[in-house]
Amino acid sequence: MRRIAEKKFESRFSRAEFVISAVTEINYSYAKFLRNPCFFPLTLWSFNHILLFRAMEPLTEKQQKVLGFIQGRLQNNNPPSQREIARHFGLAQNAIYQLVSYLKKKGYLVDSGGHRGLKLSEEYLDHIRQSEGIPVVGRVAAGEPILAEENVEAYINIEKLFTKSKGVFLLKVSGDSMIDEGIMDGDYVAVKPTSTIGNGQIGVVLLDGEATVKRIYIQSNRIALKSANHAADYKTRYIKRATQNARIVGKVTGCFRLL
């Protein structure tokens, strides 16, 4: 009885903690909105994100394995029976029944009834979509919903895309010197910190305390910083390698813009 009471208390506490974090986010976001109204659309998204994508209750190693097996079978349109799950893991059917019950209680599975009625819950599917990222939509047939599962070719997680390497930061571009490379004034470039760079790669150089984005060419005693704007005919800038007020700070790994 004591263990059951403790579990109920933990469950209530996690919900309360979630509500507190949501309210904290609203207050923090509203304060940012007062300072910068342009932030408000992101504020609304942040609040919806908290409400819709509440962290799910963690699973034990056994529960993860069973869920993974069921998920794999469902992806192949072949939902398993509990007897098949037991056979796969070499466990008694009673043990599998208990594991599946935990997965239902924790919100990962629902039972639509019948011999093979196990399905992933909407809450868990939302959790998967969130972790996978933004859907990349391919060709869309006439009359179909644009985000229908068959139209989604892949998912891109923007956060993971720009943070694969430790220390990656974003730099806002100022000027039109790299427009032929698709890097426009006001764009953001993701920069991987490094003091060395491959010849001809796009990188960031710090000159007299100001960052500039250019194609970098390493020569014997100097560094060439080449622009990419044919129409403006910007000249290539050469800097002696021994110059103390110039240093390579990173390699550009991505670029995006806000519309």
Can you tell me the distance from the alpha carbon of 101 to that of 97, in angstroms, rounded to the nearest whole number? 6
Q: Which helix (H) or strand (E) holds 237?
A: strand 237-240
pLDDT class for 257, splitting at 50, 70, 90? confident
What is the pLDDT at residue 137? 65
Check whether 50 has a pLDDT greater than 80.
no
Can you tell me the distance from the alpha carbon of 34 to that of 209, in angstroms, rounded to the nearest whole number? 32
Check whether 187 has a pLDDT greater than 60.
yes
Q: Which helix (H) or strand (E) holds 225?
A: strand 222-226
* Residue range 52-65, pLDDT digits in tens: 345 688 999 999 99
* Residue range 94-142, pLDDT digits in tens: 999 999 999 999 999 999 888 899 999 988 888 887 777 766 666 555 5
**What average pLDDT does the chain have?**
76
Segment 188-194 shows an average pLDDT of 90
Where in the sequence numbering do the catalytic residues fall?
Answer: 177, 214
What is the pLDDT at residue 160? 66
Residue of higher predicted confidence among 83 and 23: 83
The tally of CA atoms less than 13 A away on the side-chain side of residue 126 is: 13
What is the pLDDT at residue 16? 36
Can you tell me the distance from the alpha carbon of 72 to that of 78, in angstroms, rounded to the nearest whole number? 9
What is the pLDDT at residue 227? 95
User: Counting Cβ atoms within 10 Å, is residue 45 exposed (0-12), middle (13-18) or buried (19+)?
Assistant: exposed
What is the pLDDT at residue 164? 61
